[in-house]
Structures are given as structure tokens and as C-alpha cells.
Amino acid sequence: MSLRRTILSLAAPLSLLALSACATPFAADVSRYQRMPAPQGQSFVVQALDPDKRGGLEFAQYASYVTQELARQGYRPAATPSAATFVVSLDYGVDNGNEKVVSTPGFGGGFGYGGFGGFGRFGYGRYGFGSPFFYGYGDPFFGGGYNNVQSYTYFTTFLDMQISRTADGERLFEGKAKARSRTDSLPRIVPNLVEAMFTAFPGRSGEEVRITIPEDNRPSTIRDRRR
């Protein structure tokens, strides 16, 4: 077999493997501190932690996702803070982006292979929003030639959530979810972060975990993130 034919025969399965990597699930790092009481129908309201976001339509959209998740846990929405057992304070945002330069091997002739798990995809969380993302993977580009060098920008999006008892202000829950992606579009990323926050909610206090949301929208999986 000629060298050219050998390279092409190897390139075909590698290209299929690269395409399969597009199914990489959404992943977020979630830390939680909690002493939440067991759900017994306690009521809650969701408020913006940032005063500038209060009353905004964007915040109302994300607050509705949190409301749905808390209702699934057995809590119930209240009409006003004074009528609520808990006040849920919510914040979210994205940084200005960071440049990353990656060198990857290629095969020449215009075909390059960017490494295992290195390709972002448009996935769907529980709320139907797509998210081009990656977390801790390689270069999400194809390229040509050996020692291919690519650069790209990634963004870190976060979701903060606090739950306090209305009667005395005692803090019952503090959680933070964050993920990297190749987009700074909050409507695409925040819904996935909400789902990650409520996976195995309220979690073990003081533990940081990696939450993985499969692309086919099966129930989210969870595994410890060991440092």
C-alpha cells in the first residue's frame, strides 16, 4: 500500500472520530454550600442580586427557569417576598473573553485533526436553547499541515444563586455554576447553567462537582471533580 493511500485510510476514521466529538456534552463546574430544609411546600420568590437587573425581561426569563426547578423540588412560588418562606437571589454574567493559542498535529494537504474532544457543538438543554461550548478540551478547529497553530476566543459564563430565609435572613444555600464556551450569548448558556445548578440539588455542602448534561437531553449526570 502506498504512503498516500495509507494516510488516506487513516484519515477517514479519524475524521469520523472528530465529527463524533461534536457530540461532547455541556459541562459546568458547580460549587454549593447548603443547609436547606427538606421540601415541605415552603414558598419562595426569585429576585435579582444585581439591582440593575431587577424588573428586566431577560432576568424574568432566567428566573422562570429557576422557579420551574424549585417547583420540581417540592417548593412553591409565592406572590410577594412577604408571603414567601425563602428569598432566592440570582445573578449571572459573562467575562470579556480570553484568547487561547493551540498547536495541533495535522496530516498535510488541507486536512488536520484537532485532538480528542476538541470540537464544540450546538447542544440543547432542558429549555431548548443551543450552546456552542467546550470545557477543558483541545482546539475546536480543523486545520491543515503539521504543527498547525490556531487561536480562538473563549468566554466564561457564571450563574450565582443564594437562598435565604425570609423570617430572619439566615442564608440556607450558596451556589455557583460556571462554564467556558465559544460564545458570550447569555440566552444560550444560562439555561444550561440553571440545569447544572439543579442537578442533584441541593448537593453536598462544600463540594465542587463537574455537572455534565448529555446532548440527547437524558437526565443530567454528575461526577466528582477531583483536583
Quote the number of domains for the chain.
1
186 part of a folded domain: yes
Q: What is the pLDDT of residue 102?
A: 73
Q: What is the pLDDT of residue 73?
A: 94
Q: In terms of residue numbers, what domain contains 173?
A: 18-94+121-134+157-224
74 part of a folded domain: yes
125 part of a folded domain: yes
Q: How far is CA 190 from CA 4, 101, 155, 158, in A?
A: 47, 26, 13, 8
Backbone angles phi, psi at 56, to 5 degrees: -80, 150
Quick check: 38 pLDDT over 60? yes
SS3 95: coil
106 part of a folded domain: no
116 part of a folded domain: no
* Greater model confidence, 206 or 124: 206
For residue 220, the domain's CATH number is 3.30.160
Q: Are 117 and 21 in contact (CB under 8 A)?
A: yes
| Single pTM value for the model | 0.69
At 139-176, the pLDDT tens digits run 444 444 556 778 778 899 999 999 999 999 999 999 99
198 part of a folded domain: yes
Q: Are 140 and 182 in contact (CB under 8 A)?
A: yes
Q: What is the pLDDT of residue 199?
A: 94
Average pLDDT estimate for 194-214? 93
